[in-house]
Structure 1
C-alpha cells in the first residue's frame, strides 16, 4: 500500500518524539508499504513565528528570536544524527539558510511596519520548513533513504493568503512528477505541511488544520491507499473525555460523520481536512503516536454499517444566539433574505439556523467574536421593519452552547429525537432552539453554556455510547 503519514506538532515536538515518528515511518516501510511523510512544525514554533512577525511589524525585531529557533532545532539535530558529522553539518546548513530568510523577512518588516497576509504566510510557514529536514534525517539514520521536500514544489493553491485552497489538477501533476520517482526508488519523502504556493511560486498557508489538510491533499494527489494522521489522542471519541469520563474511541466512522463532528467542535480533525481524501474515496486513520499500538479510528465512505442511531455527542462553546422576533414578520417577504445578506456582508460564519414555522422568529448562532457586530448591522439594516413593528426586537443572547447528536444512521430510525429530548427533560435542561437537517445526520440544539456539559452527558448516557 501507499500510505501518507502525517505527524502533528506534539508528535514532532522534541528529538525523542521525532525519533519515534521516524521509527513509525521506517517500520511501516519495512512491512512492504510505500510511505510519504507530512510533518507539522515542532510544537509551539508556529505560534512563536507569528508572534515574532507581529512584534517586528511594530518595529521591534529582536535577533535573539532567530537564535532561539536555531538553538532549539540544533539541539534536536545534535540528538538525531550524533556521530555522523557530514549529515549533521548539512542539516545545520539547511537550518541556517532557512532562518537567514526568516531574519531578513522580519528585519524588513520592522522597517516597513506592515504585516500583510502574504508576508505573514511566508513567515508562519517556516516552522514546517525547519522540521522536515530533521524528520528526514531521523528516518535516514534508521537506514531508510529520505529527503525533505517543500510543499511549495507540490501544492498549487489560490492566492487567498491565510486560507489558500488547493488547485488539484495542477497539484496532482506536480506532486506525481516530484514524489513518484522517489517513492519508486524506495525513498520516504518528508513533505512540509501547512504550506503551498501560488502558480507564480508565492508561499501560501492552508489555514486552520493546515498540516492535516496537506496530508489529505498529498494523499489525493498520489491516489494513496490510506492517509494516517498521527496525533496525541487515540482517535475520534464518542464525546469529549474531559466532559464524559466514559467516552470511548470509535473504531469506524464515515466521512460525513467525521465532517459533522469536526464542524460541531470535535478537535481531532478540521472539517475541511478530509475533503480531498473523501473525493478520491481514500480512508483516513486517526492514530496516536504516543500509543501506536492502539488501532485508532478509521474514516471511510461507509463508516460502520452495523452501527445505528446516534454515534457521538459534541458541543461548541463560546457562541451567541442572535434572534429576530416579531409577530408582524409573518407573511412579510424579504426579511430573512435581508438578514442573511447582512450576515454575508459581515463575513460571519453561521453555525446553526432555526426558524419557527409561524415565521415569527428566526435565530442563528454565531461565534462570540462575530455576533455583536452582526447584531448591530442587523438593527441598522432592518431599521424600517423595526419602526413599522414588523420586527419587535433583535437580541443577542450570551452564554449559550450548541450540543449536537451525530450519526449517519439516525435517518429513518424512529425515536431518536424522543430519546434526546427525554434525556434532557429528565435532567431539567431547557432547550432554547432546535435544528435538524433533512439528511437526519444530526440533531443540533442550543442550551445555556452552564447546561452544556450536563446535556452532553445526558445524551451520551441515553444512547449508551459508553458501550460502543
Structure 2
C-alpha cells in the first residue's frame, strides 16, 4: 500500500461538479491500492474575496462585509446541498460556525479600523477551512472513508503572519499523531492547504499559492510515496500557454529544473513546493483533474534520460531593475555586502544579479520597499531604477553539457534588446532581462526556435 498525497487546487474544487470529480479520483486511487491523504484549496476566487472583506472591514464598510459573508455562506451551503442528501445536518452547522467565527474577526477589524496581519491570516484561512469540511463531508456521504482534519493541528509554523515559515520537526510529530493513524486505519484524511498554526495557537498562512507547499510538507511529514498536484492543466509545459501558442507537455523533469521554472514564473507549481519533496526524495506528479488520463508531468531527483538541450522556458513579468553604480566599488572591500544587506534589511529577494567593475544590477519583483531601498543605497552610491521589465528564463539540465545552447538562445533574441544576461551557478538556467512589452514576441520567437522540431517530452 502506497501512501500518496493528492492536492486539489481551487478550480478542481470550485463547485459541486468539480468536487464530484475529485471524489471519483480519490476512489480510483483507493481501488488501485493507494492510501490517499487529500489536501484541498479554497474554492476558486474565495481567498481573494476574503481578503477583500478584510480590507472592507478596515474601512468600516459593514454592509459590504455583511453581503460578502452571506454570499460565502450561501455558496458553500449550496455546494454541500448539491453533493449531499443530508446537507442540513452536521456540515450545515460546521459552515455556520466557521462563518460566525469569521464574522467575529471581521467585526474586530471594523472596530479597530485596521487589519493586523494576524487577523488577516485568520480571515484568509476560512476558505480552506470551509472547503475541506465540505469535501470531507461529501466524501463520507458518498461512501469514502474520509475524515476532516484541521490543518492547524498538523502544520506547525513560526509567527510570520502572511508568509509563515513551516517548522519541520513539530509538523512531523503532529502528522504522526493526527494523520498517520488514520492512514493506517485505511481512512482518508482531508485537510485544507495554505493554513498552519503558530506556537501561540494563532492561525497562520503560507502565502498566496501555499496549498501546493502544504501538500509537499504533509507528504514529507508522513514519508509519502508520491505527492500529486491536481490542477486544471495537463502538467508542466514548455512555456506559458497564455503567452506562447502551442506549448508542449513536459513528461518528466528534475527537481532542479522544476524549482527553476516555478521560481521564474511557471504558475502550475508553487516555488516552495519542491524543497520538502527534495528533502525526502519524494516524486511529485502534476495532473489534470479534468483529464486524469493525460499522463501529466513527473518530477524526480533524476534528470530525464534524453539529450534535449532545453526543457522549458518561463517568464516573470513586472519586475524592476535597480542599478547601483560607484567608482568607489573598484577594489572597495565590502561594497557588494553593503548592497545586499540593504535588500536583506527590507526582506526583498533579488532574482537576477550582474556585476561590472563599478556597478551591480539586480532585479526584484516585490516593489513594496523599493523607495526605501533606493534611498538607503543612495547613501553610498548612484542609483537608477527601471520599471516594467521582465525576466525570461531558459531551463534545462543539459545546458551544462551543451555549450552551444547559450549562444543559440542569445542569437535567436538578437532583435530584442537584452538589459541583463546571467547564467546560474547550477548552469541549468540562462536568464535574460528585457522590457516587459517585448515578452510575448520574444518568448514565441524563442519557443519556435527551441521546440519547433521537438515532440512532446
Question: 1:398 Cα shift?
Answer: 3.0
Alignment check: 8 A CA contact 2:346 2:369 kept = no
Matched, 1:38 2:27: no
TM-score (norm 1): 0.92
Q: CA deviation at 1:368?
A: 6.8
Q: How does 1:297-446 map to 2 (within 5 A)?
A: 297-325=297-325, 329-356=329-356, 359-367=357-365, 369-370=367-368, 372-373=370-371, 376-378=374-376, 380-382=378-380, 393-425=382-414, 428-446=415-433
**How far apart, CA to CA, are the structure 1 residues paired with 2:308 and 2:372?**
39
Which segment drifts farther, 90-99 or 179-188?
179-188
What is the aligned partner in structure 1 of residue 80 from structure 2? 77
Aligned residues of 1:423 and 1:458 also touching (Cα < 8 A): yes
Counterpart Cα distance in 2 of 1:157 and 1:221: 13
Determine helix, strand or coil for the equivalent of 2:403: coil
DSSP 3-state at the match of 1:381? coil
Partner residue, 1:133: 133
SS in 1 for 2:336: helix
Q: TM-score, normalised by structure 2?
A: 0.94
Distance 1:423 1:139 in 2: 52
**Distance apart, 1:32 and its partner CA:** 1.2
Structure 2 residues without counterparts, runs of 5 or longer: none
* CA offsets 1:255-278 (integer angstroms, 9 cap, x no match): 111110011111111111221111
Q: Does the C-alpha gap of structure 1 residues 113 and 460 become closer, same or farther in structure 2, counting only changes over 3 Å?
A: same
Aligned length: 452
Distance 2:258 2:156 in 1: 26
The aligned counterpart of 2:236 is 236
C-alpha contact 1:339 1:378 (8 A) present in aligned 2: no
Task: State the alpha-carbon separation in 1 of the partners of residues 68 and 435 from structure 2.
Answer: 43
**2:435 maps to what in 1?**
448
Give 1:11 deviation, angstroms.
0.6
Whole-Å separation in 2 of the counterparts to 1:169 and 1:399: 42
Matched position secondary structure for 2:98? helix
Give runs of ≥4 in structure 1 deviating > 3 Å. 325-329
1:65 to 68, 71, 91: 68
Q: What is the CA–CA distance in structure 2 between the aligned matches of 1:123 and 1:413, rounded to whole Å?
A: 50
How far did residue 369 of structure 1 move?
2.3
Check whether the contact 1:209–1:273 (CA below 8 A) recurs between aligned residues: no
Distance 2:229 2:41 in 1: 11
Structure index of larger Rg? 1
Offset, 1:326: 5.0
Map Cα deviations across residues 187-246 of structure 1 (whole Å, 9 max, x no partner). 111111111112332211111221111111111111110011111111111011222213
| Residues in 2 aligned to 1:374 and 1:292: alpha-carbon distance in whole angstroms | 48
Offset at 1:66?
2.2
Instruction: Report deviation, 1:451.
Output: 2.3
Matched with 2:56 is 55
- In structure 1, the residue corresponding to 2:308 is in which secondary structure? coil
